[in-house]
Amino acid sequence: MQQESGSAVLYSASDRIAVITLNRPQARNAVDREVALGLEAAVDRLEDDPELWAGVLCANTAEHTRPVFCAGADLKVIKETGSAATLDTERGGFGGFVYRERTKPIVVAVDGLATAGGLEIVLAADIVVATSRSAFGLAEVRRNLIAAAGGLFRLPRAIGRGPAMDAILTGEPIDARRAYALGLVSRLVEPGAALEEALRLAQQIVAAAPLAVRASRRVVLSAAFEDDETLRRTSREMLDELLASEDAGEGLSAFAEKRPPRWRGR
């Protein structure tokens, strides 16, 4: 199932994976109200569909001489309205995505520049696949703005305080190879191959036990905020829940019978 090609955000799904595409190439995929609402709605569809276990987020850069995954906020909207409020949603924050609570992992495929709010969208995803021609930046200080959609705390967590402070205070982008070396990018591929690799990664994720994937993701994300004792208790509670699920018995049976498990997600 897919939205019309003219939509600012496209959605399709197959083989337990949803593919969400930013589709404003003429505006460098900048976030306006339509993108924010469309991206939030796409994540809602992923979360609400029990047959889908992971998502891939990408961008249409077909018309770009120099590809741009997302240029962040549409500054024309801010200039015309004097506010960035229309670029947020109540549940998702900027782009309907950066603060959206969800349970299913999303892999982001970046082929080109992800800057300002574009990088903040990338940082809100779970795993980053990028091409060698990509770059990541927070250029807000050059426009008398700040990266208020998560970039100021998520980038330091991703690459460390020193490199993040360098990028944030200068506005200089981080090229893909350095981003890979610093740990922001998980898989680095050739230009044009980001979506294919992201789908391959998503397929590996959905081949694993979905309940365990979601529980593991939750603990990893909580690690930045919780103390070790809380994390130990949370991990134990989640393990007990997993052991009580139908998939727990299936996993043990498949292991004993030397066959691939048939996960049900319950």
Residues sharing a CB contact under 8 Å with residue 174, sequence separation 6 or more, in sequence order: 135, 136, 137, 159, 163, 167, 182, 184
Is position 40 annotated as part of the catalytic site? Answer: no
* Segment 57-79, tens digit of pLDDT: 999 998 888 999 999 998 888 77
Q: Which of 40, 63, 80, 120 is catalytic?
A: 120
In this prediction, residue 226 carries a pLDDT of 66
Give the 3-state secondary structure of residue 111.
coil
Report d(CA 67, CA 31) in Å as an integer.
16
Q: Confidence class of residue 5 from pLDDT cuts 50, 70 and 90? A: low
Q: Which of 80, 140, 172, 241 is catalytic?
A: 140
**Spatial CA neighbour of 28 closest among 81, 72, 58:** 72
Q: Which two tokens stand for residue 192?
A: 């044009």
Is position 190 annotated as part of the catalytic site? Answer: no
* Segment 226-256, tens digit of pLDDT: 667 776 787 778 767 877 888 888 877 887 8
Q: Judge whether residue 4 has pLDDT over 60.
A: no
Q: Judge whether residue 112 has pLDDT over 90.
A: yes
* Segment 121-164, tens digit of pLDDT: 999 999 999 999 999 999 998 988 889 899 999 999 999 999 99
Q: Judge whether residue 257 has pLDDT over 60.
A: yes
Mean pLDDT over the full length of the chain:
91
